[in-house]
Amino acid sequence: MFTTRSRAVALATLTSLALLAGCGGSSNDNKPDAPTNLKVIPGDGQVTITWDDQSTTSDLRYWLFKAQAENATRDDYRKYPEAAIIAPVTSPYILSGLTNDKPYSFFMNATHGNGPAGGETPTVGNVIPRQSGSVWTTNVAAGAGDLNHVSLAYGRFLAVGDSGAVQVGSVAWDTGSPVLKWTKASTVLPSVSLYAAAYNSTTPRTVLVGDLDGDGKAVIWTSDGSSTNYLDQWVTRTSNTTSALHGVALGSVGFVAVGDSGAISISADGVTWTAYRLTVDTAANTANNATDRYTASSSAAADATINLKSISVLNGTYYAVGDNGWIITSSDGISWRKHAISSSTPANLTSVTYGYYNEAIYLAVGSGGKVYRNTDPSTKPWEEIPVPGMGDMKAVARGSRFMAVGTGGQAWVSSDARAWVATSTGANENSVMWYSGGYIAVGEGGNVVTSY
C-alpha cells in the first residue's frame, strides 16, 4: 500500500531532484539552452522520446521529467501520479512501464555535467500509450520484390525475400510512428529465394537460408564478419544438402536450419555446415517405449513426408514446425521429439512462438484458420483451436499480444491464443516482428506495414 508517509517521502525526493535539476549549483553561469525538437511517440505501454541530442559531442547531460497528466508543467508535475525525473538520458530514449490509455506529460532540460540546469522545453502533453496491433499504417517499402522474413541484426532491420532480395533498414522517429528507411545490400545475390535469417551477436555473423528460386536446392549466405558493414557484404556457403531450407535459428549448438524432405543443417559458426536428414530413431523409441523419437542422420534418405517450414528457439529449446501439423523439438539439433496434436486433419504450420500472458503459452499457426496452443509441451498434446474467418497465417510474433499475419491482408491478435480479433494490414504479409512497442510486418511487393 502507498501510505501517506511513503507518498510524502517520494515527493520530498522528487523535490530534491527537481532542485538539483533546476539549480545544479550556486552559480547561474554556464546554463545550457533548453533541448530542441522534443518529440514523444506513444507505443504499447511505452513511449519513444527523441530530441536534438548533442551529448556525444559535448558535456551536455539531459534530464527527462514525466507525470501521468494531460498537461503537467515544471510547477505542478510533482502532484500527479507516476511523477519522475530520469537522468541522464540519450536520444532516442524508450520509456516503458507506462499505463495504456492514460495521458502523460513530458518535458526536459539540460546541464553541463553537474552544473546548473537551463530552461525547460515546452511540455509535450496528453501523450497516450495504447495497445498496438489494431490499426496498421503503410510504411516505407523495402524494394519491390516479395519479402519473406524480417528481423533485427546489428541494431538494424534485415528483410530478405525472393530474387535474392536483401534490404537493410534503419528507423527514424519523425512522426507519430517509426519511419523505416531501407537500403539494398551492395552484394548482388543470384536468383535465389531467401526465407529466413538468424543473427549471432557474439561472432558476429548473420545467416540467410533459402533455395535456388524454387529448384529445391538449398542456399546459405552469411555476412562477412570482417566487414565494417556487416549486412552489406554477403558470402555464399556450401550447404551440403539438396533440399530447400525454410528456417534457421541460433541456439545452444549454433545455427540450426530446417527444410524440405527432412533436411536439417547445423553449423557452429555459420560458415561450415553439416547436412542431415530426419529419420525414425528406433533405439530411442525402444528405450522410451515411444514412437515419436527422430534423429538427424547424415546417412538417412530424403523423406518427402517431412517438410519443415520454420524454426525458433523458445526457452532454450529448438522448435520446428511444418506441413501436416509437424511440431518437433530438440535441445541439440540431432535428437528430436515429434509432438502430438489434437487434430484429425492437421494444418500446414508455418511459424511458432512463445509468450507469457497469465500463463506460459506456446503457439503455432498455419493454414486453414487453425492455431495450435500448448501450456506444457513436455507433457501435453497441442490443442487445435479453429478461428472462424481466419485464413492462411504465415507468421506469428509475441508482443503485448500474440500477432499473426498472413494472406488476404489479414492480421489477428490474441492475449490468450484462444480468443482472436481480426484486424487488417491491407496487404499480404509473410513475416512479423515486435519492435519498440509495436509490430512491423513485411510481405508481397516489398510492402512494409507497422502498428503502433
List the domains of the chain with CATH numbers: 4-127 (2.60.40.10), 137-451 (2.130.10.10)
With H, G, I as helix, E, B as strand and everything else as coil, classify residue 120. Answer: coil
As a whole-number percent, the residues of the chain with pLDDT over 90 amount to 81
3-state secondary structure 58-89: CCEEEEEEEECCCCCCCCCHHHCCCCEEEEEE
> Are residues 334 and 324 in contact, defined by beta-carbon separation less than 8 angstroms?
no
Phi and psi at 63, nearest 5°, equal -115, 130
pLDDT at 175 over 70: no
d(CA 90, CA 84): 16
Q: What DSSP assignment string belongs to 438-452?
A: EEEEEEGGG-EEEE-
- The DSSP symbol for 15 reads H
d(CA 426, CA 55): 41
What is the average pLDDT across 368-389? 96
pLDDT in tens, 91-150: 999 999 999 999 999 999 999 998 999 999 999 999 999 999 999 999 999 999 999 999
The predicted structure's pLDDT at residue 214: 65
pLDDT at 86 over 50: yes
What is the average pLDDT across 407-429? 96
> Are residues 201 and 151 in contact, defined by beta-carbon separation less than 8 angstroms?
no
pLDDT in tens, 345-365: 999 999 999 999 999 999 999
With H, G, I as helix, E, B as strand and everything else as coil, classify residue 388. Answer: coil
Other beta carbons less than 10 A from residue 298's beta carbon: 10
Other beta carbons less than 10 A from residue 39's beta carbon: 18
Q: Of 11-20, 24-33, 229-238, which gets the smallest average pLDDT?
A: 11-20
Cα separations in angstroms, 298 against 61, 275, 392: 58, 6, 34
Alpha helices (H) in 307-377, listed in sequence order: none
Confidence of residue 9 (pLDDT cuts 50, 70, 90): very low
What is the average pLDDT across 233-254? 94
Q: Of 19-33, 170-184, 371-385, 430-444, which gets the smallest average pLDDT?
A: 19-33
d(CA 69, CA 127): 9
The predicted structure's pLDDT at residue 17: 53
The predicted structure's pLDDT at residue 28: 53
- The DSSP symbol for 119 reads P
> Are residues 33 and 116 in contact, defined by beta-carbon separation less than 8 angstroms?
no
Look up residue 397 and give its three cell numbers: 510474433
Look up residue 140 and give its three cell numbers: 516505407
Amino acid identity, position 140: V
Q: Which residues contact 413 (CB under 8 A, 6 or more apart)?
A: 133, 134, 401, 402, 403, 404, 420, 421, 423
With H, G, I as helix, E, B as strand and everything else as coil, classify residue 426. Answer: coil
Confidence of residue 43 (pLDDT cuts 50, 70, 90): confident
Confidence of residue 22 (pLDDT cuts 50, 70, 90): low
pLDDT at 4 over 70: no
pLDDT in tens, 114-130: 899 999 999 999 999 99
Q: Which residues contact 226 (CB under 8 A, 6 or more apart)?
A: none
Confidence of residue 166 (pLDDT cuts 50, 70, 90): very high
With H, G, I as helix, E, B as strand and everything else as coil, classify residue 261. Answer: helix
> Are residues 165 and 143 in contact, defined by beta-carbon separation less than 8 angstroms?
yes
Average pLDDT, the chain: 91
Confidence of residue 176 (pLDDT cuts 50, 70, 90): low
What is the average pLDDT across 4-9? 40
Kind plus residue range of the DSSP H or E element containing 18: helix 4-22
> Are residues 308 and 258 in contact, defined by beta-carbon separation less than 8 angstroms?
yes
What is the average pLDDT across 203-229? 83
Look up residue 323 and give its three cell numbers: 506441413
Confidence of residue 18 (pLDDT cuts 50, 70, 90): low
d(CA 432, CA 451): 11
> Are residues 288 and 280 in contact, defined by beta-carbon separation less than 8 angstroms?
no
d(CA 226, CA 109): 41
With H, G, I as helix, E, B as strand and everything else as coil, classify residue 23. Answer: coil
- The DSSP symbol for 409 reads G
Give the start-end residues of each E strand in 173-251. 179-184, 193-200, 205-211, 218-223, 234-237, 245-251
The predicted structure's pLDDT at residue 16: 47
Tell the residue number behind the cell numbers 541494431, with chain if given.
Answer: 155
